[in-house]
Amino acid sequence: MQCPADRPNAGCFQYINPFSANAYQWAAQGIQVTSPDALIGGPFIEFDDGVLGCTGVDCDGPETPLPPLEYPAADTLPDGWDIAVACAVDVPERVLSDVIVSYLPSTIPNSCISSCEAQGYHFAGVEYGDECYCGTGYSGGVVPAAANISDCNVRCAGEYYISCGGSWRMQIYSDI
């Protein structure tokens, strides 16, 4: 696809992908993206209309919506793991006990669970897109308050169509 000389870095995409899903694509085109909150759009994309591809849309084409957000189902989790709290209210002291956290651009629930399991933890939680928490149980032995599932609306850093918690909202999984 060729765009005008004043817009040489345009690309053809079906969706505006979150930072983690397209940082590599943009870096390959010499465009630096530094914010994990960035949705790439504006002057650099020609949008695929799903019928004619990019040939039917100019380089100032309309923004298209992201695909619907998917919430992991129990049968898609690693063997022996289940959804403990679909969307929990987290607190500054954290709702998991003996917690460790990692921030990874590849975070999805299954990768977080696998990482926690490999380190001997029985609880795993994802929050705010790229945060993976591993814990030994619930803080104080108390199951955290449940939030509305719609509060867990931040897309995973590793896969933009999967939910990974929200702002102070954690999706918690356990093998107990």
pLDDT in tens, 72-129: 999 999 999 999 999 999 999 999 999 999 998 889 999 999 999 999 999 999 999 9
Q: What is the pLDDT of residue 14?
A: 43
| From 8-12, 112-116, 147-151, the region with the lowest mean pLDDT | 8-12
Q: In the chain, where are the structural domains located? A: 1-66, 74-174
In the chain, what are the helix, strand and coil shares in percent, each to the nearest 5? 20, 25, 55
Q: What is the 8-class DSSP label of residue 28?
A: H
pLDDT in tens, 54-65: 544 444 444 455
Q: What is the 8-class DSSP label of residue 142?
A: -
Statement: the pTM of the whole predicted model exceeds 0.85: no
> Is 78 in contact with 113 (CB distance < 8 Å)?
yes
Q: Which amino acid, one-letter code, is at 99?
A: V
Contacts of 7 (CB under 8 A, 6+ apart): 43, 44, 59
